[in-house]
Amino acid sequence: MIDTIKKVVEKPIKLAIGLMSGTSLDGIDACVVEIKGSGKNTEINFMDFITLEYTKSEKERILKLCNINTSTVDEICYMNNYLGNKMGEAALKVCKEANINIKDIDFISSHGQTIYHMPNLHSTLQIGELANIASVTGCLTVGDFRPSDMAYGGQGAPLVPYIDYLLFSSEKKGRVLLNLGGIGNITVLKSGGEEEDVYAFDTGPANVLIDEVARIITDGKMTFDADGKMASMGNINEQWLEEMITQDSYLCKNPPKSTGREYYTTEFAKKLYDEGKVKGLSSFDIISTITAFTAKTIQNQLEKFVLENHKVDEIYVSGGGAHNQMIMKLLSEYIDAEVSCIDKLDFIGDAKESIAFAVLGNEFLHGNANNIPTATGANRKVIMGKLVLPSV
């Protein structure tokens, strides 16, 4: 066993697949990257990226698992293996796309699908069995990172800040990396800062509420507001927007903090939609105001918890929300810093989280502690991850 791992770790350049399936439940993101070195010497050569979309019925099944009223233990048990197989397929698909033989892959690193997250109780569940990924692909497979941080008192999230620190620190600029997936999260990197200076937390909803309202408005025909077009056809109701901010209890919590579908539920979105209707707003005004809510939460959280102690020169946005023109426009309006897509740094925004998990897996294999206690609240640095060896 030690030999198998040693052989991989000793390679100067490793070929890795990163797998990520996030809170927006759009599908399984898979990237292939070459990774040179480890720790602060990590270098990435991006090769390819695909999303293996969830079917409508898969999405519905996973959504049910995320809700305590509809989840059942047999479904959790079954879907753990089912999704493991599908994640294995995503790995095969990205290899095919990149013209790479799966046998040449040194390791796969998978985040899994979060179905429940209880940060204050230090409990979280990501499904997508690593053993199934290993059996479908025949690859050494790493994953299930969050529990190790939680075992040391952490929130198990956010984890990408460690990778942000490794890959995006700047000597000259104070940077914020903002990811807009289902949930929004920021990493604050001080110019010329050390790992101890990294500050990060989830800001609140990114697309999770917008997606739900897009579904309601279009009777399920659209699962998201493509490019923010519907939102741009309405007007923001400023008074309601202010009410949304003051009524959201997550926004008042002090970091370290993380959130998810347990708080920003389908019911949360439906309630907002109904409230908008009672106020006499059109569907476009409602989605416009809810889109503004996402941008406003980020402004609110920066002002409340970041700007007093950190100089922010630049904000780099990644994740699906970077394609929402209305969010991007409002962020530039609301925040006094240069807001750009992370693509400006020659990085593929949609692939960022899957790349991050490939790098977290590389750190695990090297035996490097890969959490950031200032981000997760853990009481120490921890080597996060678990391993399944291929039976070949």
Ligand X SMILES: Nc1ncnc2c1ncn2[C@@H]1O[C@H](COP(=O)(O)OP(=O)(O)OP(=O)(O)O)[C@@H](O)[C@H]1O
Ligand Y SMILES: CC(=O)N[C@H]1[C@@H]2OC[C@@H](O2)[C@@H](O)[C@@H]1O[C@H](C)C(=O)O
**Residue list, annotated binding site for ATP:** 22-29
Least separation, in Å, of the C-beta of 3 and ligand X?
35
**Nearest-CA neighbor of 125 among 94, 81, 156, 82?**
156
Unique residue bearing structure tokens 């697309």: 207
24 binds ligand X (CB under 6 A): yes
Least separation, in Å, of the C-beta of 155 and ligand Y?
8
Identify which of residues 258 and 301 has a Cβ nearer to ligand Y in the complex. Answer: 258
Helix (H) or strand (E) segment spanning residue 7: helix 2-9
Given strand 199-205, what is the order of strands in its sheet?
A: 199-205, 183-189, 175-180, 314-318, 338-341
Instruction: Report the partner that residue 117 touches, choosing among ligand X, ligand Y, none (CB closer than 5 to 8 A by kind).
Output: ligand Y
Identify which of residues 129 and 225 has a Cβ nearer to ligand X in the complex. Answer: 225
Residues placed in the known binding site? 22-29
From candidates 22, 193, 204, 373, binder to ligand X by CB under 6 A: 22
Residue 35 pairs in a beta bridge with 14, 44
The whole-angstrom separation of Cα 241 and Cα 121 is 31
From candidates 211, 212, 248, 314, binder to ligand X by CB under 6 A: 211
Residues that bind ligand Y (CB under 6 A): 22-23, 114, 117, 124, 157-160, 181-183, 185, 202, 258, 260, 353
Instruction: Report the partner that residue 258 touches, choosing among ligand X, ligand Y, none (CB closer than 5 to 8 A by kind).
Output: ligand Y
Least separation, in Å, of the C-beta of 223 and ligand X?
7
76's CB contacts (< 8 A; 6+ apart) are 65, 115, 125, 127
From candidates 226, 239, 304, 386, binder to ligand X by CB under 6 A: 226
23 binds ligand X (CB under 6 A): yes
Instruction: Report the partner that residue 256 touches, choosing among ligand X, ligand Y, none (CB closer than 5 to 8 A by kind).
Output: none
Instruction: Report the partner that residue 234 touches, choosing among ligand Y, ligand X, none (CB closer than 5 to 8 A by kind).
Output: none
CB 120 within 8 A of CB 29: no
Identify which of residues 179 and 300 has a Cβ nearer to ligand X in the complex. Answer: 179
Stretch touching ligand X by CB under 6 A, among 8-16, 178-186, 230-238, 247-255: 178-186
The whole-angstrom separation of Cα 82 and Cα 98 is 25
Identify which of residues 30 and 217 has a Cβ nearer to ligand Y in the complex. Answer: 30
The whole-angstrom separation of Cα 102 and Cα 267 is 42
The whole-angstrom separation of Cα 201 and Cα 158 is 6
Instruction: Report the partner that residue 211 touches, choosing among ligand Y, ligand X, none (CB closer than 5 to 8 A by kind).
Output: ligand X
CB 28 within 8 A of CB 90: yes
193 binds ligand X (CB under 6 A): no
DSSP letter (8 states) at residue 255: S
What residues numbered 325-354 form the site for ligand X, per CB under 6 A? Answer: 353
300 binds ligand X (CB under 6 A): no
Identify which of residues 25 and 236 has a Cβ nearer to ligand Y in the complex. Answer: 25
The whole-angstrom separation of Cα 94 and Cα 18 is 10
Residue 341 pairs in a beta bridge with 317
Least separation, in Å, of the C-beta of 200 and ligand Y?
8
Number of other residues whose CB lies within 10 A of the CB of residue 268? 15
CB 167 within 8 A of CB 363: no
What are the residues binding ligand X (CB under 6 A)?
Answer: 20, 22-24, 26, 179, 181-183, 207, 211, 224-228, 319-321, 323-324, 353
